[in-house]
Amino acid sequence: KGRHIRRFLMILALLAVAGCGILICAGRLGFKKTASLENGWNLILVNRDNYIPDNYEFELTELSNGEKVDSRIYPSLQDMFDDARAKGLHLFVAAGYRTEEKQRQLLEEKTEAYVNEGHSRSEARELAEEWVAVPGTSEHQIGIAVDINADTKYSSRDSVYGWLEKNSWKYGFIRRYPPDKTEITGVINEPWHFRYVGWPHAKLMEERHLVLEEYLEWLHDFPLGGEPLRFRGLGRLFELYYLPVW
């Protein structure tokens, strides 16, 4: 028994070094992986497999309608909205930053809706998670994702989403959950959900039709000291190397 305990403690120590946390759920011992900041705050990968770090901190800026976003993305978001409105589009941020409590409430409400349709609770939860992220795995909780809606009194959804899909990369935003990448992202098509990654990342992802999971893997092909990724932008030729920030 003593050997088993020592082995268990050693496993926990290794997991701590690897950046994993411990999650106790429904009496079972499981593990959750913490999202890494090695690529910088703008490329942090938060999804069903990567939980927000416990010590993740950021400042919020409040928008005119009361929604909030990470202050670092606000200038680019405002520029994008200003240009969209200059084209005659009427749009607004329907959802920005969310607390973990709010995220949990949304998931519970979606689960209950499926239960009321006749699904078992386990089926309902599985279906709900296709629409609503598990608390701790939502980009809304770190303030760098926004749900953008059309004011349908003046603009159609198609016109707003169409403009955003074609132009959001210019401002450092990506359509995070396209319809043909569900198997990778784990989230169904959400034409309203845009995530900030910054330039030139948004440009490169748009050109190659990559979601964030794919893009981060692809960047590893260009380590510092090896052959760089060359691309043109802003009238100049750039060379990009992959170098973790720590």
Cis before 244 (ω within 30)? no
User: In angstroms, what CA-CA distances link 76 with 3, 46, 210?
Assistant: 56, 21, 21
Residue with tokens 């960047």: 219
The reply to whether 190 belongs to the active site is yes
Closest CA to 146 of 70, 48, 198, 200: 70
Residue 216, C-beta contacts closer than 8 angstroms, at least 6 positions apart? 39, 43, 45
Residue 132, C-beta contacts closer than 8 angstroms, at least 6 positions apart? 103, 106, 107, 110
Backbone angles phi, psi at 119, to 5 degrees: -80, 150
Residue 131, C-beta contacts closer than 8 angstroms, at least 6 positions apart? 110, 187, 188
What letter represents residue 20's amino acid?
C
Q: How many beta carbons lie within 10 A of that of residue 8, not counting itself?
A: 11
Instruction: Please tell me which residue in 129, 190, 213, 214 is annotated as part of the active site.
Output: 190
Closest CA to 165 of 156, 154, 174, 152: 174
- By annotation, the residues acting in catalysis are 190
